[in-house]
């Protein structure tokens, strides 16, 4: 176990390059199972969740050749399906949410799959119904085995069908798309999730020979093909990391340029930070966040208090709500943060309150932040990161606070932020990784 020791109050300054997107990586890496040919992937983030998924692929006998730190060639020409119901697989795959997306490609290519209880953030109930019902509609049978805790799926034949998803689940849509690409006939998926992660996956599958149309919309049409071949794919920059750096710049009174941010793929994210009063200057594909003495939360046209809430893409991603919340602490004005999707993602605000933030937790889904206008600094404390985004939000709070903070359980942060301490030190942060 490790912790971060942070001495706050330093203005972060300089340039930072975002890592490749974690949630895209988990989809793309699962998709290498769809072909016996070589797939070259670049801009792979060096983070715990992604490394764990690569390890799982290797255990399944997928050849992985690292040509550089962020590039690897994968070849799934001799997959060991038996590994998927081993205890080792159960243990390892249970540590990350992304492992659930091995099921779609396995069903597609080998007609059977096993889904253990997936890991990932403990941020509320995270059901798998959308995945399983989608597979069933394509012709798969499933059985939940109480003894081993696995969903067992088998599909002697997968056939195209029309489906209306119960909810636009991100990993659910990816899983169903990957199962449908080699089904016979045409599949339509309505109410599909359409995050850039999914757009990237579908574009990659099309380069491999799939026939997917409607990419970027909530209606995907997939004409089944019999074979997929190799390809090359580059991951987009991580939009959640980009949002985290914007919040960090504002809270530390810093001046940061985020290089090569792929602004076209950020959707509504920049606008939400602008609603907090944060200036963002775009030059080419770079985002400059200049130092601002005060950032003032906007109000609605009728003068009402701003609410920022999550919504499936192209709405605002739930993964940035904790970051928006912490960023509002030093704003001028008030904002209601409404986390609609997850019921246990806001409880970390008690730590922010201990640090001196003015926050009212209304219920598990809603919190009102009353900005301190930089008139009062947060105080450093010792705290533990409950999930990846709350962890980074606590880190942002610590970087802006007076005195020393200790953030424990930073493995949560390492799941999704590459060498974060080294990169922040380059921006002038006083942060140390320590045992304990
Ligand atoms: C590995 C990965 O890619 N993880 C992301 C993925 O998780 P994941 O794919 O697991 O999340 P889902 O999209 O399935 O749904 C997340 C939660 O939101 C609820 N829900 C979903 C859609 C909706 O319209 N209404 C609703 O309430 C679901 O019931 C569930 O509890 O998408 C989430 C939602 O963007 C992100 O937080 C996760 O970072
Ligand atoms: C919730 C997240 O991740 P996961 O779905 O992998 O737990 C996240 O990335 O914010």
pLDDT 10s digits, 187-243: 999 999 999 999 999 999 999 999 999 999 999 999 999 999 999 999 999 999 999
- Ligand 2 touching residue 388 (CB < 6 A): yes
Ligand 1 atom with the shortest distance to the CA of 240:
39
Residue 46: phi and psi, rounded to 5, are -90, 75
- Cα of 127 vs centre of ligand 1, distance in Å, is 9
Ligand nearest to the CA of 318: 1
CB-ligand 1 contact for 345 (6 Å cutoff): no
Mean pLDDT for the stretch of residues 250-256: 98
Count of residues making up the chain: 436
- Asked whether this chain's domains 2-19+237-435 and 22-234 adopt the same fold, the reply is yes
Average pLDDT over residues 94-109: 91
> What residues contact residue 191 under an 8 Å CB cut-off, 6+ apart?
164, 165, 166, 167, 168, 218
Asked if residue 123 has pLDDT above 80, the reply is: no
d(CA 172, CA 80): 24
pLDDT over threshold 70, residue 119:
no
Q: Degrees (nearest 5) of the Cα angle 250, 251, 253?
A: 65
Q: Domain locations in the chain?
A: 2-19+237-435, 22-234
Catalytic, 310? Answer no
Atom of ligand 2 nearest to the CA of 98: 6
Nearest to 17 by CA among 340, 430, 426: 426
In this structure, are strands 162-164 and 186-190 parallel, antiparallel, or unpaired? Answer: parallel
Does ligand 1 come within 6 angstroms of the Cβ of 247?
no
Q: Nearest bound ligand to CA 238?
A: 2
Rounded mean pLDDT, 386-414: 97
Q: With left for phi above 0 and alpha for psi between -120 and 50, is residue 179 left, alpha or beta?
A: alpha
What pLDDT sits at residue 322? Answer: 98
Comparison of pLDDT for 95 and 47, the residue scoring more: 47
Neighbours of 106 (CB within 10 A): 25
Query: Does any ligand 2 atom lie closer than 6 A to the CB of residue 381?
Result: no
Which DSSP helix (H) or strand (E) runs through 221? strand 219-223
Probe residue for ligand 2, chosen from 127, 389, 414 as the CB with the greatest number of ligand atoms within 8 Å: 389
Domain 22-234, CATH among 3.65.10.10, 1.10.1040.10, 3.40.50.2300, 3.40.50.1370: 3.65.10.10
Closest CA to 102 of 137, 69, 150, 44: 150
Ligand 1 atom nearest to CA at 195: 35
Count CB atoms within 10 A of the CB of residue 264. Answer: 9
* pLDDT for the residue numbered 121: 66
Dig out the tokens for 302 from the structure: 């009728």
Among protein residues, the one with the nearest Cα to ligand 1's atom 26 is: 341
Q: How many CB atoms lie within 10 A of CB 72?
A: 20
Q: What is the mean pLDDT of the chain?
A: 95
Say if residue 382's pLDDT is above 70. Answer: yes
Average pLDDT over residues 267-289: 98
What whole-number percentage of the chain has pLDDT above 90? 89
Query: Is residue 340 marked as binding?
Result: no
Residue 319 labelled as part of a binding site: yes
Centre of ligand 2 to C-alpha 27, Å, is 13
pLDDT computed for residue 127 by the predictor: 83
Name the band, by pLDDT with cuts 50, 70 and 90, for residue 436: confident
Q: Is the pLDDT of residue 109 over 90?
A: yes
Q: Known binder of ligand: residue 109? A: no
The pLDDT score that the predictor gives to residue 168 is 98
Looking at residue 292, the DSSP 8-state letter turns out to be -
Gap from CA of 403 to ligand 2 centroid (Å): 30
Among the bound ligands, name the one nearest to the CA of residue 317: 1
Residue 427 has pLDDT above 90, yes or no: yes
Q: Of the listed 49, 121, 387, 421, which one is catalytic? A: 121
The CATH code belonging to domain 2-19+237-435 is 3.65.10.10
Q: Is 341 annotated as a binding residue?
A: yes
Ligand 1 atom 20: residue of nearest CA: 341
- Tell me the pLDDT band of 118, cut-offs 50, 70 and 90: low
């Amino acid at each position: 176990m490790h912790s971060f020791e942070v001495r706050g109050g330093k203005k972060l300054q300089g340039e930072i390059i975002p890592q490749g997107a974690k949630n895209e990586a988990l989809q793309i890496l699962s998709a290498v199972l769809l072909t016996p040919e070589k797939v070259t992937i670049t801009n792979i983030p060096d983070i715990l969740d992604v490394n764990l998924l690569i390890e799982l692929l290797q255990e399944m006998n997928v050849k992985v050749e690292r040509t550089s730190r962020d590039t690897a060639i994968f070849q799934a020409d001799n997959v060991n399906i038996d590994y998927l119901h081993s205890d080792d697989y159960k243990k390892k795959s249970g540590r990350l949410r992304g492992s659930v997306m091995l099921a779609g490609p396995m069903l597609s290519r080998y007609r059977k799959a096993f889904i253990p209880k997936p890991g990932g953030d403990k941020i509320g109930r995270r059901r798998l119904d959308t995945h399983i019902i989608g597979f069933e509609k394509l012709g798969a049978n499933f059985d939940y085995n109480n003894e081993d805790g696995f969903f067992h799926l088998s599909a002697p034949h997968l056939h195209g069908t029309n489906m209306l998803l119960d909810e636009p689940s991100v990993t659910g849509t990816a899983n169903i798309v990957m199962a449908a690409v080699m089904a016979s006939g045409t599949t339509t998926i309505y109410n599909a999730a359409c995050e850039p992660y999914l757009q990237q996956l579908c574009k990659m599958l099309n380069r491999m020979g799939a026939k997917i149309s409607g990419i970027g919309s909530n209606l995907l049409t997939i004409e089944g093909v019999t074979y997929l071949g190799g390809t090359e794919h580059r991951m987009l920059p991580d939009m959640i990391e980009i949002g985290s750096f914007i919040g960090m710049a504002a809270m530390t009174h810093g001046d940061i340029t985020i290089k090569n941010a792929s602004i076209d793929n950020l959707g509504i994210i920049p606008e939400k930070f602008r609603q907090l009063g944060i200036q963002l200057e775009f030059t080419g594909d770079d985002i400059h966040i200049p130092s601002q003495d005060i950032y003032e939360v906007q109000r609605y046209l009728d003068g009402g208090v701003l609410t920022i809430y999550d919504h499936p893409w192209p709405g605002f991603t739930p993964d940035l709500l904790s970051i928006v919340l912490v960023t509002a602490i030093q704003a001028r004005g008030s904002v209601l943060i409404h986390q609609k999707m997850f019921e246990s993602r806001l409880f970390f605000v008690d730590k922010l309150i201990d640090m001196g933030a003015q926050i009212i937790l209304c219920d598990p889904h809603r919190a009102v932040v009353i900005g301190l206008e930089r008139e009062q600094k947060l105080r450093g404390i010792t705290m533990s990161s409950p999930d990846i985004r709350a962890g980074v939000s606590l880190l942002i709070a610590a970087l802006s606070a007076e005195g020393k903070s200790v953030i424990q359980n930073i493995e949560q942060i390492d799941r999704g932020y590459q060498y974060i301490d080294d990169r922040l030190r380059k921006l002038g942060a006083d942060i140390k990784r320590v045992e304990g």
